[in-house]
Structures are given as C-alpha cells and as structure tokens.
Chains A and B, each alone.
Chain A
Amino acid sequence: MTITSTEPAVAALREALADRIGRGERFAGLSASRSGGTVTLSAYMAAPGRIDTLEATLPPGAPGYPSLTVAPPAIGAAFWYERLIHDETGIVPEGHPRLAPLVKPGDPLPRHVTGYGLFTIPHGPVRSGVTESMEYLVETPGEAIPHLNMRIFYKHRGVAGRFTGMTVGDGVLLAEQAEGIASVAHALAYCHAVEAIAGCEIPREAALVRVAHAELERIANHLDVAVRLADAAGLAVATARFALHKERVLRLVSAMCGSRFGRGVVVPGGVAAFPRKRPAEILAGLASLEQQVTADMRALLGTSSFLDRLRGTGPLTPARAREHGALGPIGKASGFADDARLTRPYDGYKELAAAPPGAHSAGDALARLKVRDEEITQAFGLIRLALSDFPERTQLTPNVPCEPGDGRTVGWAEAPQGEVLYDVTIAGGRIASCQPRSASFHNLVLMHEVFAGDILTDFPFIEASFGLSAAGAAL
C-alpha cells in the first residue's frame, strides 16, 4: 500500500508515540477534534502516575494523514480509533487496512474467507435472549470459526457530541449513561477530569464512599459474567445462584443511594450524599454475601464439566495483549496488567492500595474468570477497608464546591471492564468538548483474534468472558 501524503505533524506524533511505547508506555486511545477548519489528533499515552495527551494539528483543509495503524512504526491498537475518527470528522487515515464505517451504517460485512463449503452465519443485531444489540458475522465451514466480524453501529447514540454545551453538573449525568453497567466508573473518570481542571481536593470520606460504590459495581459486573458463563454451560443452579448474588448486590447499592446502579452518587467535588445505610449495616450485609459468593465461586471453579468449556477457549496471547494494551480482566488474564487503581491511584485508592493482580498468562476464558474471582475477593476487602472506621457523618461534608475555569485534561477510572478515559475541555463554565473512551471500545476489537481453534459452541463463552458492553463500545 502506498502512503501519498507526508504530514509532518503526524510524522512527529508517530515518532513520539513509538518512542514512548519503546520506553514501556501504553497507547491508550486516539481522538480527533475539529475547530474551525483544522482537525487536531489527540493520542493518549498511559504511564505510571499519569496519562499524557500528544497532539498533532493537521493543516487547514487537509483531507487526511498517513494512518497510524499501518505505516511503520505501526500502532495496531489505533485500528478502530482511526475508523471512528473517519466516521466523525471525515478525515481519512491513508492506507488504513479497512476504512469501513464503524459507528455509522455501512455496507454489509465483507467475507474474508472463501472456499468450498464455507458459509457465513449472521448473528444479530437482534439476538436470542436479552442482550444488547450488536451484529456478528461468523464465517465457518461448519464447526471452526476461521474469521469473525462485528458491527457495533446499531447502538451508536452520539454520546460524545451530546456533552458539548452541557453544564459541568449535567455532564456527570450523561457520563453515567454512557455505559450504564459501569455508571460509577464513568462518572468518576469524568469528575476526575473536572476536578483536576478546577484544582479541587475532595473530602477524604467522599473519596472512600466513591471507592465503596466503584467496588460494588465491579462485584456486580463480575457476577454478571459468572451468570452468563454458567448459563452458557447449562448449569441451571449456578446460573440462579450467581443471579441471586448479583441481585443482592444491586439491592445493597439501591439501599445505599436509591439507584441500583449507583447513579447520582458521584458529583464534581465529591459525592452527592453519604450512604443512607450506616457503614456497620452495609458491612454486615456484605459479610454474609461475601461468604456465599466465595463458596459458590469455589464450587464453580471445581465443576469439571464447566472448566472443560473454559479451559483453552478464546485465548489471547500475552504478546498480543501487551501490543494492544488490553485493558482490565482481559489484559490481566494474558499477563498484561495496567490497573489504574494501582498505577494511577485516585480517590480512596491512594490510601487503601489495591493488591497487585495475580500472575496469569493463559489468556483463555478460564483465566479471565479467575481474574474476576480475584477481583471480587479484593473488592470486598477494599469496601471493608473503606467503610470501617468511617467517622460519624454529622460533622462531615460530602462535597466541596467545584467550579472549573477554562482548561482541558484527561480523567481516568478503572471500570469493571478496564480503564475508562474522559478527555474534557471546559470553556466559560460549560463543556466545550468531552471525548469518553470506554474499555469496552478498546477491548472489543480483540474479539477478532481469539477464535483460533474454537468452534461455534465456544462463542457464548468467549463473548461472556470478555464481559464488555455494546453501549460503551458504540457510545
């Protein structure tokens, strides 16, 4: 393939990115913003303690730039980001291997594999069961899946564009609805950006309440993955047990704040209010829940017919995980862990110190479940730490005023699916631009690559083990 334009700003950006990746930093995303006639690319690089934004401004009227995905040194993880940028701004990443629309309707999916007896199974967007809308196209000779393709545009709602012009206080409400099952994490990432611009320090107790809600959200999400895996394996009792535990977690969250998804808790400057339940009551409820979840998880991880379906299923190699910068449990299961709670601690995690993840390298569906099992145990511990010795609330303020001036920064938080980024620009007290980047978007593209040797009946296990949200991916 030939690259026609040589764009100096992008060439410099590419060099800077390659240099940083060589030093061990992680490519965390790419976005584009248009102001007047010029388009600026912003690349996010994750390093211990910080997320840096590197920019390259294209000359006015430039139709494109050489794609970061292919031109050496290639950054393969930019594959979907550049398609998204093309959809949103029309800027062409020249030489991109597949510049089909990602969040806009496009042509029917092309077939990649041809040969005798090969056919395709279109799966979605309306699928059996209660699932989010998304389309998979499975190319298969009957059992094996040599190629999988997917289309996520069905759910595209234009969340990023909707932020523009909103007040800072309203923005958090939209962030909560960007990826509904990770409401707390998205609200946190947004608020961290706003608080950094405003330079405000939230009260210690608010930071602890944030941790409690974020970890409850993590437990609920990981239990949901357990439900779906057990369901895929036809373990009716295990499915019911984990669904019961998940319901109990959601009920605990609603008893604390009124919403089963922790909505309305996180506000710029702290939390809206302290939990309605006393910390001692919350901890007592959690103790019995933890005991039951742990026992059922032990039983699940000891059920050989279940393990047979997960072991070796949907493997992601450690090399690919590292190269792509795979986030959350998917990365950890393949030996690549960059947990924002540890490497870029925020809120209560600064003092509570999450334990480092265990060593995994199998990268299969079983390893991903084991990572989630560990994270559940750790989450219970973190909530205990956050809420024990919680002072009497009468003397405390849940939040401080947070009125950001003009500025731009990136906020982050570790969602159950992995790191969430919010690139927020404030001007005149309102949001001038906000680019959310969910872990679901960053990780979902890896689904293309994990079907080596797996067959059709492995599909639900692999999808469930990824544990991603179509809403978060399509935004």
Chain B
Amino acid sequence: MEVKRNLSTFMGKRKNWSIPYILFLAFFVVTPLFLIFYYAFTNSTGGFTFDNFRRFWQQPEAMHTFVFSVGVALITTAVCLLLGYPAAYILSRMSSKTAKIMVLLFILPMWINFLIRTLATVALFDFLGIPLGQASLYFGMVYNFLPFMVYPIYNILQKTDQNLIEAAQDLGANPRQVFFRTILPLSVPGVKSGIMMVFMPVISTFAIAELLTINNIKLFGTTLQENIYNGMWNYGAALSLVMLLLIGLTLLFNGDGNAKAAEEGGLI
C-alpha cells in the first residue's frame, strides 16, 4: 500500500515523467558520444594516446579525403542555395493553395529510398551517355539535398510580414532594393537553417558518393565507415571526432539557427 501511494505521488508530479527519457538520453545519446571520445584517445589495449590523431595528421590520404569532402559539401551547399532560394521565393509568392501542392511536390521524392533514387540517377547518366565522375557526384548531391534548402527558406519567406515589404515600397524603394534590403535580411534565419540541413548531411554521407562514382571518388564518410568496419575502432573514433569538431564549428557559425533547424529537421 505504502509503495503504491509513493508511486502515485511520484507520478503525480508531472516533472518526474521526464525521468525515463532523461535516463534513456543518458544511456543512448550521451554515453555513446562519450565512447567516441574514449576510443579516440585510447589505443587497442585501452591506454591513453594521441596516436590516432597523429596518424590522421600524417596520413595524406585521409587528410586529403577530408579536405576534399569539405569542398564537396561547400560547393553542394552553395549550388543548393543558388538554385533553392529563387525557388523558395517563387513558391512564397504563389497563392497558398498552389504553393502547398508545390512544396509537397518538392518533398515527395524523399519518400523513395535515397539509395534507389541514387541508383536511378546513375541510370539517368548512363542513359544520357554522361560518364560517372565529379559531375554525377555533384548532381546526385544537389538532387538529394535541394529540398532541404527550399523548405526552410520557403517557410520563413512565407511568414514574412507583408506590411514590411509594402512599407519599403511606400517609402520609395525600387524592387531591387526591396529584395536586397528587406526580404533577403528577413530570410537569413531560413537560409542559415537551410545551409545546416544541406551541409551537415553532405559532409557525412557515404553511400551516395560510392554509387555515383562507382567508388572512384571517396568522401570522408566512406573513410569513417571503412575504418569502423575493418575493426579499427580507435582510429575510426578519432576520425569521427574530427568530423564532430567540424560540425561543432558549423553549429557555432549558425548560432541561433540551430534550434530552428532542429525543429524543421522533421520536414520529411
């Protein structure tokens, strides 16, 4: 009886309802991340060491792959932004009913398994007689991640206060000025979360590059996966930590956009 009453007063405090999830997060999110640190700074017998990082630094191949991957991610993000911003802008000007359907059409392809889509892209390139290589790699990347850029920008443009735009027009701004001095600055948070949502997955992807270049071009994600798969957990963990560092820098650069990106991460 006593136990039961204790339990019911315990459950009666609703803040206690968070306890199962806090324990869950501690075990399945915090501990695993801690393990990456642990493995990165130890050798296979468990002794503390910096060797894993030294090896990354001294191995031109891994280093080269890393730099190349950052480049691919930057270019993909830039292309997505250049293609996606105008699209988001046009969508935000449409009547809300048409825009809804259009946005749906942009998101819909993501419902097909991305590996199948990627293989279909390969077939498309074969069909057009374009050899697989850098071109197909960038096409595949942009193709896969463009919707992630369009959606957050569209979202913020569509919520932009029309009065501000009209005020700018009334005060004598020409269309160009309205865009660059009113609309664009107001949409920066959307652009930031779009950049995050493209850059971060591109930097870490591995299967897309593998399939689109018949394994000719290796990205950092592939290096990570191969090392873990070949049992080099410590070295793999160190490489993961390098990637985490990069992600941390991106988050820092993004500042307030992070929470937004997290909220919009659920667009699929």
- Asked if chains A and B come from one complex, the reply is no
- Give the interface of A toward B (CB within 8 A): none
